[in-house]
Amino acid sequence: MGKKKKNAYKPKTDQEIKDLALELFRGNIITDRQIVTPGQDPNLLFSIFMPLALSGPDLATWMEENNIDLMYGKVSETLRGRCVNGWPIFVSMYCLNKEDTLRLIEANNKIQKAMEAI
């Protein structure tokens, strides 16, 4: 048997993905993809997601090892009254791997289509 990685990424359940998609639709979470769009400086993320700015190379290594594809923050966990280029500053950060990111996008697209049909 292989040795389990310390702090390995734990895939999200279907319910967790559904809940995240609802929170994204409601505007209660903000993802890195909303912040950095084509043509913008990706270094902006270091100013908005404080864990990125304050962590060492271990976080980058962990993200690479776990195939992290998306970062997000909860609007309820921001520095109140502080922002960078209109974006809130997150004091905590959450991640999804590639597979869970695709599941989130799919769930979010379903919500968007359902709302458009109303």
Looking at the DSSP bridge assignments, the partners of residue 72 are 31, 94
Handedness of CA 62, 65, 70, 74 (dihedral sign): negative
The residues spanned by each domain of the chain are: 27-116
pLDDT digits (tens, 9 = 90+) for 88-100: 999 999 999 999 9
How many CB atoms sit inside 10 A of residue 105's CB?
A: 16
Q: Is 22 exposed, middle or buried, given 0-12, 13-18 or 19+ CB atoms closer than 10 A?
A: middle
Confidence check: pLDDT of 5 > 80: no
Q: What is the DSSP string of 83-106?
A: EETTEEEESS-EEEEHHHHHHHHH
pTM for the full model? 0.88
On whether the CB atoms of residues 24 and 104 are closer than 8 A, the answer is yes
Distance between CA atoms of residues 17 and 54, nearest Å: 28
pLDDT digits (tens, 9 = 90+) for 41-100: 888 999 999 999 999 899 999 999 999 999 999 999 999 889 999 999 999 999 999 999
